[in-house]
């Protein structure tokens, strides 16, 4: 189990390296800040990897028991086949609880630290932002769009949009050039235009040679962060309140509701995996077959692929959130039940 957990966590870490850390290191980000960001990302990777590690460990473990004739010896000793499931299912429940507690208590705490580290990386070296159409926000509901970040830390093609959710823009500032001062949260704009609006109507147009824009609580995303991804890092009680508020305002909540269901479905996947693994072991033993490493990897990947497809469909509203979140688990439960029925006939 421990070896499987290490392997799967390393896979998630390597994915993070490929998606985020390698590009920002190549652009000159501080290695110490990158190490901090990596450390704060581990609890989330751990929460995702733990149920998958359960499936990986159960399949490989029973494959080894079957090849060593251990299962045959256990059954020959008069132990009922279903008794094999008791320790595995107990461990599965423990894994599910551990994963849920990790996601509910630890991940939200380190997530805020990870966001702060991302802000520190951007303020230390603005070039870590993507070269085209980089977007980051602050707590004043201002979206800051940068076309290019030059090697001299100067910015080109800057647009700042100040707006409230569900409302037209209140103010738009554009500038041909600017810079984000190192070690501070201030953007200096050069040769720009400031346009203010009221009810989508232009109120004033002001030209300026230089303007200093303090940015409060900079939210810089260095990866492919989404609203649903952030919802998964939010405590359940806060997420439920957010869904209620959005529904009261008439906003779409499919992504948030999918995230809420995933908070329970993903940890409980460990229980589904435990049941499926035991039933598959009994079936392959009685059929005289075995589950090797290749099949173990394929069955593990099958869950990840199914989870990815249904997650996107749920977030986009193509499927009800309950269906999108729980179908991957249900497939393994149904698969285990089918294997149980087939093995009972042998």
3-state DSSP of the chain = CHHHHHHHHHHHHHHHHHHHHHHHHHCCCCHHHHHHHHHHHHHHHHHHHHHHHHHHHHHHHHHHHHHCCHHHHHHHCCCCHHHHHHHHHHHHHHHHHHHHHHHHHHHHHHHHHHHHHHHHHHHHCHHHCCCCCEEEECCCCEEEEEEEECCCCEEEEEEEEECCCCCCCCEEEEEEEEEECCCCCEEEEEEEEEEEEECCEEEEEEEEEEEEEECCCCECCCCCCCHHHHHHCCCHHHHHHHHHHHHHCCCCCHHHHHHHHHHHHHHHHHHHHHHHHHHHHHHHHHHCCCCCHHHHHHHHHHHHHHHHHHHHHHHCCCCCHHHHHHHHHHHHHHHHHHHHHHHHCC
Q: Over the stretch 273-328, which tens digit does the pLDDT of each residue have?
A: 999 988 888 888 777 666 777 888 888 889 989 999 999 999 999 999 999 999 99
For residue 163, pLDDT over 70 is answered with yes
Residue 84 has pLDDT above 70, yes or no: yes
227 within a domain of the structure (yes/no) = no
From the centroid of its chain, how far is CA 205? 42
User: What's the confidence (pLDDT) of residue 183?
Assistant: 63
Q: What's the structural domain count of the chain?
A: 2
- Residue 221 in domain: no
Average pLDDT for 27-43: 81
Residue that terminates a domain, selected from 167, 184, 214: 214
Name the pTM for this structure.
0.76
Can you give the residue range of the structural domain that contains 184? Answer: 130-214
If asked whether residues 194 and 134 sit together in one domain, one would say: yes
Question: Are 147 and 7 in the same domain?
Answer: no
pLDDT tens column, 196-223:
998 878 999 999 999 998 876 555 555 5
Residue 5 has pLDDT above 50, yes or no: yes
Q: For residue 224, is it within any domain?
A: no
Residues 64 and 203 in one domain: no
Report the chain's mean pLDDT, rounded to a whole number.
82
């Amino acid at each position: 189990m421990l070896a499987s957990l290490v392997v799967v966590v390393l896979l998630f870490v390597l994915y993070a390296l490929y998606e985020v850390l390698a590009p920002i290191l190549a652009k000159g980000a501080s290695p110490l800040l990158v190490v901090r960001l990596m450390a704060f990302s581990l609890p989330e990777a751990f929460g995702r990897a733990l149920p998958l590690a359960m499936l990986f460990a159960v399949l490989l473990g029973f494959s080894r028991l079957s090849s060593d004739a251990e299962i045959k010896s256990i059954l020959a000793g008069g132990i009922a086949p279903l008794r094999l499931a008791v320790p595995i299912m107990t461990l599965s429940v423990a894994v599910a609880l551990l994963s849920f507690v990790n996601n509910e208590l630890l991940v939200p705490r380190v997530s805020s630290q990870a966001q702060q580290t991302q802000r520190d990386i951007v303020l230390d070296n603005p070039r870590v932002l993507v070269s085209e159409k980089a977007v980051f926000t602050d707590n004043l509901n201002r979206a800051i769009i940068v076309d290019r970040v030059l090697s001299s830390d100067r910015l080109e093609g800057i647009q700042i949009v100040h707006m409230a959710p569900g409302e037209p823009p209140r103010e738009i500032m554009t500038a041909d050039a600017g810079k984000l001062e190192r070690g501070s949260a201030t953007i200096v704009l050069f040769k720009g235009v400031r346009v203010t609006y009221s009810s989508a109507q232009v109120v004033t147009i002001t030209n300026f040679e230089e303007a200093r824009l303090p940015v409060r609580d900079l939210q810089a995303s260095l990866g492919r962060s989404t609203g649903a991804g952030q919802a998964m890092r939010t405590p359940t009680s806060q997420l439920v309140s957010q869904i209620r508020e959005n529904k009261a305002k008439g906003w779409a909540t499919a992504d948030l509701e999918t995230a809420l269901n995933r908070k329970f479905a993903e940890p409980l996947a460990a229980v589904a995996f435990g049941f499926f693994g035991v039933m598959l072991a009994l079936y392959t033993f009685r059929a005289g077959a075995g589950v090797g490493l290749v099949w173990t990897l394929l069955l593990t990947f099958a869950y990840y692929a199914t989870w990815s497809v249904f997650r996107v469909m749920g977030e986009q509203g193509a499927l009800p959130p309950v269906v999108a979140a729980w179908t991957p688990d249900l497939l393994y439960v149904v698969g285990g039940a089918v294997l149980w029925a087939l093995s009972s006939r042998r």
